[in-house]
Structure 1
């Protein structure tokens, strides 16, 4: 094996690993959205979810597609946004202390 073949093989393996991570994060994003909707909780703006999915699928990226690090970043931001919409207090709601449950407000 010459040096070029080794470099190309290593690059292909790294690209496959990064692609697998991107797909795993996409699956987690889809599952989280599905679970939030099933529970009747807010999933955040719809465009965040679909924008992240389209960014992964479409070939126009900030970084060329063999490198999926930017795609993973966009998917993670969308996942964080969706989870943040669940924990964000409603506008006008009093702030809650950490570790406090809503049922604590009604305890005698």
Structure 2
């Protein structure tokens, strides 16, 4: 092989390794979020298990040495689970019968004396 061909092979290997590491890191973060699944309902469970199955399943949008599609699905699921957990946490702070909090105007309110 020529020198240029070796350079292309080495760069392709580095890119494949970097995307593999990125996909594994995202999968680990999603697995750590698993403890919230009971509180998040069916949509959270579907997002969690669907993303993991897609990442592990060998049939993908792109061939498996290229993990960009897996990273996209894992990142999307992580974003969805994070937003769902934030909504659940905010709803749990409200007292029963308490109306939804109005959006904050950005200005701090002072208590009336």
TM-score using structure 1 length? 0.73
Q: Secondary structure at the match of 2:17?
A: helix
1:2 equivalenced with 2:7 (yes/no): no
The Cα of 1:95 is off from its aligned counterpart by 3.4
Superposed CA offset, 1:63-84 (max 9, x none) = 1111111111100111111112
**Secondary structure of the corresponding residue to residue 66 of structure 2:** coil
Task: Provide the residue aligned with 1:26 in structure 2.
Answer: 27
Given candidates 95, 101, 109, the residue that maps to 1:96 is: 101
Aligned-pair distance for 1:88? 2.7
Q: Following the alignment from structure 2 to structure 1, what is the Cα–Cα distance between the partners of residues 29 and 22? A: 11
- 1:47–1:96 distance in 2 versus 1, CA, 3 Å: same
Q: Could you tell me how far apart the structure 2 residues matched to 1:53 and 1:97 are? A: 37
Tell me, in whole angstroms, the C-alpha distance in 2 between the residues paired with 1:75 and 1:98: 31
Shift of residue 2, structure 1, vs aligned partner: 1.4
Structure 1: which 5+ residue stretches go unaligned?
Answer: 100-108
- CA spacing shift, 1:69–1:94, aligned 2, 3 Å: farther
Q: How far does the alpha carbon of each residue in 1:11-64 deviate from its partner, in whole angstroms, 9 at most, with x for none?
A: 011100110010001101111222x25xx7426431211110011111111111
Alignment map for 1:55-94 (pairs within 5 Å): 55-88=54-87, 94=99
Secondary structure at the counterpart of residue 59 of structure 1: coil
Matched residues, number: 95
CA RMSD, 1 decimal? 2.6
Q: What are the ranges of 5 or more consecutive residues in structure 2 without an aligned counterpart?
A: 92-97, 105-113
CA contact (8 A) 1:33 1:82 kept: no
